[in-house]
Amino acid sequence: MIFYQDEKILIRNMEEADAQVFVDEYTAQGWHDEVDGYLKRLKDQAEGKCVALTAVYQGQLAGGLYVYLHAQDGPFRGMGYPEIVDFNVLKKYQRMGIGNRLMDVAEQIAAQYSDTVCLGVGLCDAYGSAQRMYVKRGYIPDGSGIWYRDKQCIQYETVCTVDDDLLLFLSKKLRD
């Protein structure tokens, strides 16, 4: 299904063939990535648990994300809010409006299920662009502090590894 299209950007459902292309592209930019993760998300989409989106820029795969219809982790689990997961745009396609278009579509999908959407964002500098974008789009921290591997961190607790699992959860009201 096509969710958005203009002269440069196309946003559609992710397809199985996208998985290897993304793995190759993310590996080339120095990230560790595996096909199995994409296949799991596609299985979740087939089971109606999420909508998997791929952004295509001038015919080339540029990024993607997943909208889970019910938050899977963190403080929003069990609240009935959709959760945006694994938002990524390849470095060579960043700052071209692709991420904002992906988020526009994700929020439109989420709005079909709830008045609120949520997400978790990593805390290291690799997530700096995403952190800034979320704030500019109106996302606010939920107030539960940081989480590590789906466990809320407590004050003065030592978190030894600053990796993709150290998160701050944010939400946005989509409508009143």
In percent, the amount of the chain with pLDDT more than 70 equals 100
- The conformation of residue 76, written as its DSSP 8-state character, comes to G
pLDDT averaged over every residue in the chain: 94
CATH number at residue 160: 3.40.630.30
Per-residue pLDDT for 31 more than 90?
no
Number of independent structural domains in the chain:
1
Instruction: Spell 111-131 as b/e; 16+ CB within 10 A means b.
Output: eeebebbbbbbbbeeebeebb
User: Quick check: 55 and 62 in contact, CB under 8 A?
Assistant: yes
Distance CA 66, CA 45 (A): 9
User: What is residue 33's predicted lDDT score, i.e. its pLDDT?
Assistant: 80
State CA 44 to chain mean position distance.
15
The range of the structural domain enclosing residue 160 comes to 2-173
Q: What's the pTM? A: 0.93
Over residues 71-103, the pLDDT tens digits come to: 988 999 999 999 999 999 999 999 999 999 999
Count H helices and E strands in the chain, helices first: 4, 9
3-state class percentages of the chain: helix first, strand second, coil last, to nearest 5? 30, 35, 35
Over residues 105-146, the pLDDT tens digits come to: 999 999 999 999 999 999 999 899 999 999 999 999 999 999
Q: How far is CA 111 from CA 2, 56, 66, 107, 129, in A?
A: 17, 23, 14, 6, 24
